[in-house]
Amino acid sequence: MAVEAPKSKAGLEDVVAASSSICYLDGERGVLAYYGYDIHDLARGVSFEEVCFLLWHGRLPNRPELGDLQSQLAAARPISEPLLRLMKQLPASDGMDMLRTLTSALGQYDPEAGDDSQQANYRKAIRLTAQLAGIVATYGRLQNGGGPIHPDPALGHAANFLYMLKGQRPNALEARALDVALVLHADHELNASTFVARVAAATLTDLYSAIVGAIGTLKGPLHGGANADVMRLLIEIGPDAAPEKIDDAIRGKLARKVKIPGFGHRVYRTEDPRATHLRKMSKDLGERAGNPRWFRMSERIEALVKSEKKLNPNVDFYSASTYYTLGIPIDLFTPIFAVSRVSGWTAHCLEQYANNRLIRPRTDYIGPSYPQTVLPIDQR
């Protein structure tokens, strides 16, 4: 007689699959925290580099530690000639395909590729975080007909990304807006891509392979990409659309059961705490640029969807207009998600390596009853 396995839950919803000290979520109260630090406090007063240190070490850095990390990121940020040649040789493709391929190639060129010690893996986490940002920015620049730009060691991580992408140094508000977005996206507990990274790390594969798996998972439209869909929706309605036209367009989609991207969340039952900050960034950037129309459209759509469907915006909704106002191409929206989340992915891998047990769940078998009789081929 077969032994009955525990019953499954679709999508593993609310199933606890790991113990972690990194990220705390409370969907009922709308709480997101990294190592106990509330996301609102981090977004208001901490840089992305400080958040990286926090995720990797479990505490915020002091000034010398932050300076050391900034120096290591700066040293790792330039794109090597072999990687640049490979980037140029790849056929035109989705930005996530490019990022997946080049991240795998990074592992081939890492001088510590064969060293899986804790210290070497930490240095790889720094290199991955620095390099993914440079890869995405350089790819975006090449796609728009520009030439690669060497990073400026005097600029921070977010400012360097915008500089390498656009060819001009961002102003303080632009740099801060992207920095806040990176802080907000850095980790989110055991989401799909982080789970894949931890499963891979649990096999004791190398860190690059684990991150390639996470990138491939993030590419899936049910995980990453919603902010790109939000921006396409805003453009479809039209930047100069009258308020009534915006309402009619959204109501029409709702009547046809078309999902409005950027609303609702698997965990949060209140407003996504990350959306709170991105809403403000979208507003401030639009006003500074003299182009508040994308924010105003978004604000009107939010009010309508909340009224009609009782859904709150998630992290993707206002990040769309934030990125677009920063001059970031839509096809880079999901890769930028990876530029931030690689800090969390690597943190989870380092945590998994430090106290490892192979992740091997079971399935709820729903196939034919056991045992089946094998008939001779002529009797089938």
**DSSP string covering 33-99, please?**
EETTEEHHHHHHH--HHHHHHHHHHSS---HHHHHHHHHHHHHH-SPPHHHHHHHHHSPS--HHHHH
**CA–centroid distance for 203 within its chain:** 23
Helix, strand and coil percent figures for the chain, each rounded to 5: 60, 5, 35
Residue 74 has pLDDT above 50, yes or no: yes
Q: Which of 185, 187, 316, 348 is catalytic?
A: 316
**DSSP string covering 275-286, please?**
HHHHHHHHHHHH
Residue whose entry in the numeric block shows the structure tokens 């891979």: 200
Average pLDDT over residues 52-66: 98
Please indicate whether residue 57 is annotated as part of the active site: no
Please indicate whether residue 150 is annotated as part of the active site: no
Q: Which of 157, 265, 277, 348 is catalytic?
A: 265
CA distances from 73 to 219, 295, 361 (A): 25, 33, 37
Residue 3 has pLDDT above 50, yes or no: no
pLDDT tens-digit series, residues 89-117: 998 778 999 999 999 999 999 999 999 99
- Domains in the chain, CATH or no CATH each: 20-220+331-354 (1.10.580.10), 226-325 (1.10.230.10)
Cα–Cα distance, 104 to 97 (Å, whole number): 11
**Cβ(216)–Cβ(338) under 8 Å?**
no
Six token digits for residue 238: 């039209």
pLDDT value of position 8: 65
pLDDT tens-digit series, residues 246-257: 999 999 999 999
Q: Which of residues 221 and 276 earns the better pLDDT score?
A: 276
Whole-prediction pTM? 0.93
